[in-house]
A and B are shown apart, each in its own frame.
Chain A
């Protein structure tokens, strides 16, 4: 149980385009979902926290207009990287929690490469 999927697993896009990443909890309802970013040889950095049906809470330094998060249902959250630039190339990983955040189940991650 407690499986979280992400789609796509890898994406390559041109600079200036937008990319949408999906995060799904497959066998539980996630009241809270988290989006992280990991640069090479660095730690997972929390970008934002989203609760179903409400606006996401962004961490300091994360542009909310660039990283659009939608948590429209209890099993799906999406992260859209708008007008992507090469510096946005990173590993994006989501986690989902059935209980508000104390237990987080992680997805496999999405490798984004912006050319």
Chain B
């Protein structure tokens, strides 16, 4: 039972354009969501998060949107840069658990 789903295993985007990575979840108890970026041979690093009381959180080139009714979140990267090429994981947790449920990841390739 995959509670957090990233249905696109890979995505290619031209440098300078927008990258949109999507994530869906099924558990309505989830109220905190995170995006992690992972380079080969390294552990995931935290990118951006959003609480369910908000529908948007922005940090520089990265914006996360949350649609609670659709149980969907997305990560927008604008403008995309070659250094953004990595695997992106979304994760979700419920209040008080600190237990992260991860998606399967989307491999983003930004073409120069």
Asked if chains A and B come from one complex, the reply is yes
Stretch from B40-48, B59-67, B69-77, B78-86 that touches the partner: B40-48
Q: How far is the CB of A6 from chain B (nearest CB, A)?
A: 8
* Contact indicator per residue, chain B 6-33, by CB within 8 Å of chain A (1) or not (0): 0001000000000000000000000000
User: CA of A6 to CA of B42 in the docked complex: distance in angstroms?
Assistant: 10
User: Using Cβ atoms and an 8 Å threshold, which residues of chain A touch B103?
Assistant: 43
Binding site for B on A (CB under 8 A): 4, 6, 9, 32, 34, 36, 41-46, 49, 93, 95, 97, 100-109
**A106-B45 contact given A42-B104, A43-B2, A44-B89, CB 8 Å threshold:** yes
Chain B: residues with Cβ within 8 Å of the partner, total of 19
Query: How far, in angstroms, from A4 to B42 measured CA to CA in the complex?
Result: 10
Task: Check if B43 sits within 8 Å of A106, measured CB to CB.
Answer: yes
B73 to chain A, nearest CB (A): 15
Known contacts A43-B2, A43-B105, A44-B89; A93 and B43 CB within 8 A of each other = yes
B45 x A43 contact (CB < 8 A): no
Mask, B92-103, CB within 8 Å of A = 1, is: 000000111111
Report B22 CB to chain A, min CB distance, Å: 15
CA distance A36 to B9 in the complex (A): 20
Known: A41-B9, A43-B2. A104 touches B42 (CB 8 A): no
A41–B99 CB distance below 8 A: no
Return the contact of A100 from the options B9, B98, B102, B105 (Cβ within 8 A): B98
The answer to whether B102 touches A44 (Cβ under 8 A) is: yes
A32 to B99, CA, bound (A): 12
Considering the complex, give the chain B residue whose CB is closest to the CB of A5. B43
Output the nearest chain B residue to A108 by Cβ-Cβ distance: B43
Which residues in B have their C-beta under 8 angstroms from that of A43?
Answer: 2, 4, 89, 101-105
B residues 35-59 in Cβ contact with A at 8 Å: 36, 41-46
Residues on B with C-beta less than 8 A from A108 are 41-43
